[in-house]
Chain A
Amino acid sequence: MNILVCISQVPDTTTKVQVASDGISIDRTGVKFILNPYDEFALEEGLQLREKFGGTVTALTVGGETFKEILRTALAMGADKAILIKDEHKNDSYSVAFQISEIAKTMNPDVLMLGRQSIDYDSFAMAPMLAELLGLPSISMVSSLTIDGNLITAERDIEGGKEVLESSLPCVISAQKGLNNPRYPKLPDIMKAKSKPIEEIPSLSTDARISTMAMQLPISKRIGKVSGDSESEISDIVLALHEEAKVI
């Protein structure tokens, strides 16, 4: 089975976000960058599929030089190959999806694994976009996956329940928490990954279909009324919810 896993590098969740001097992106100074948490589920699933069906796992990312770090993590976890499409700009979801699709066309993967969202721009866009560019089916936010011959059965959370879906290979899947428990790379594998090759491909430029005009920090509009737990104070809060906030 030929498995392509698309991964992304994002600021650590605990990052304090500051706007950079360009006014449209975050200030990267002092920010710790990590492998997008959902992409760990995507990678793990790719590795488990290879363990079950044989084949190769290729980790692919579109990004700048620092994105090699996450490719090293993928190699340490067990990916066979790593590819960097070198694009320092990463204009918009479309341009990333387009570049991945062009490389994917040359590889004919059976399964393309992605995360449900990257936790920087929270777009939830890549899996369906990529699938559409490749003319493939896709299932987003999958929490359970089985493949039997050509048949894929997957479950995903929807509002108020779960959906069970069927599709066929080749297919694009985006991973949700609960799909598996990602393995931790072992120290010797981390060391070995350092000397494994990373294939670099120059950016295939596309026009961005959307542009960021400005980035702002949300202004806190919270009332911030904190009180004690006496009965009268609780009554006051109930009254405020009713009369001030008008939510009950």
Chain B
Amino acid sequence: MKHIIVFLEPKDEHSLKRTSYEAITAAKQTGADITGFAVSGTETALQSAAEYGLQKVVLAQHPLLDNYSSTAVAEALSQFASSVQADTIFISANATGKEIAPRISIKLHAGFIPDCNELSNDSAMRPVFAGKAKVHVKSNTPITVYSLRPNVFTAKSNPSAGVSISSFSPNLDESHAKVKVVSILKNEGHLDVSEADIIVSGGRGLKGPEHFTLIENLAATLGAAVGASRAVVDAGWRPHSEQVGQTGKTVSPSLYIACGISGAVQHLAGMSSSKFILAINKDKEAPIFKVADYGIVGDVFEVLPVLNQKLKALLGK
């Protein structure tokens, strides 16, 4: 890793997505020359990368990049990487990254190491078999594309003097933009499990959709997202977007609170890489306790209100 390009995604007018800051932090740790690459973003949002030590950002500009198209973005980034002879590309393994990273690897004849959770020089560790094993993977090519699992590389403040922003004009035509995002439907007012630092999840132990207020209240206290097991999503108690697990979302928050969830392997597949896990279940034999850091054997209907009240007291709410 001599010259790393980090793909940057703006979150809003003022900041980038947390996954972008995570990728910058991960890149900084290698000691390589780093260039941020973005296809959109305000001056303020791009400058915010200075907080994490970035000094250079390149903003690609082309009419075909005005409407997000994964194929056009992949082409633009590949052209830039070739023009500066970068040997390493870091992209978050989020919904955007999962579409562009494999494409870029093909364009650059590069090895692709997806979903890394540890990096070393020219190799990486990644979880496989739903976290039941991990593999040490090495790239055999001069250029390598890494996608980084979200919420694993903690973004660390490490301010640089400022970011110099320059522009890049890729060579694009209509054939590069055959797929376009036409609209985005936001889950208004809800923090998404895949972006949250703390997740409070409920399972069948909650007994009915009306009791999820217990989960929502605790989540509100902690500024957390609400998650769910497949059992309650299939029962129609909660939306599919909240499902954590093998057929739902893979999450690795700092704290995952599992309430009335048994801990089936398919659920563990989505959350066992959380930094800390608190489980609340009335059955002390429930498999969820095997992966938990902290466990409370008890009835969610009794434990959750007390837990919420104690947390409110601690947080001064």
Give residues in A with beta carbon < 8 Å to B.
Answer: 11, 13-17, 19, 24, 26, 37, 92-94, 97, 119-129, 131-133, 136-141, 143, 153, 156-168, 171, 177-178, 207-218, 220, 222-229, 231, 233-235, 237-238, 240-242, 245, 247-248
Contacts and interface: CB of A to CB of B under 8 A. Distances in A.
Interface residues of B, number: 90
Contact of B296 (A143, A153, A207, A233): A233
21 contacts: A13-B269, A15-B132, A17-B133, A26-B129, A37-B246, A122-B128, A124-B98, A128-B103, A129-B103, A138-B179, A159-B192, A160-B194, A163-B185, A212-B136, A215-B128, A217-B133, A218-B133, A226-B296, A227-B295, A234-B296, A240-B294
Contacts of A159: 17, 94-95, 192, 194-195
Given A157-B95, A226-B284, A226-B295, A248 B195 contact: no
Contact of A227 (B103, B114, B195, B296): B296
A238 B269 contact: no
A153 B167 CA distance: 32
Please report whether the interface of chain B is mostly helix, strand, loop or mixed according to DSSP: mixed
Interface stretch (B22-30, B38-46, B272-280): B272-280
Contacts of B246: 13, 37, 119
B95 A210 contact: no
Interface string B85-102: 000000001111011111
Contacts of B109: 209
B103 A162 contact: no
A235 B308 CA distance: 11
B182 A165 contact: yes
Given A158-B96, A229-B297, A165 B107 contact: no
Contact of B314 (A13, A211, A214, A242): A242
Contacts of A92: 111
A168 B195 contact: no
A210 B112 contact: yes
B79 to A, nearest CB: 14
A24 B133 CA distance: 11
Nearest to A41: B247
Given A167-B179, A209-B141, A234-B307, 4 more contacts: A122-B129, A124-B115, A210-B139, A215-B128
Contact of B293 (A129, A153, A245, A248): A245
Given A120-B129, A209-B141, A234-B306, A132 B107 contact: yes
A210 B137 contact: yes
Contact of A210 (B113, B298, B315): B113
B276 A241 contact: yes
Given A122-B127, A161-B185, A209 B255 contact: no
Given A13-B266, A162-B185, A132 B133 contact: no
Given A122-B115, A161-B184, A248 B315 contact: yes
B134 interface: yes
B112 A209 contact: yes
A129 B67 CA distance: 22
B130 to A, nearest CB: 7
Contact of A141 (B98, B114, B140, B302): B98
A214 B135 contact: yes
A198 B262 CA distance: 42
B173 to A, nearest CB: 13
Given A164-B184, A234-B303, A121 B128 contact: yes
Contact of A160 (B186, B266, B284): B186
B240 interface: yes
B205 to A, nearest CB: 13
B138 A162 contact: no
Interface in B8-56: 17
B229 interface: no
Contacts of A234: 296, 303, 306-307, 310
A229 B302 contact: yes
Nearest to A135: B175
A141 B96 CA distance: 11
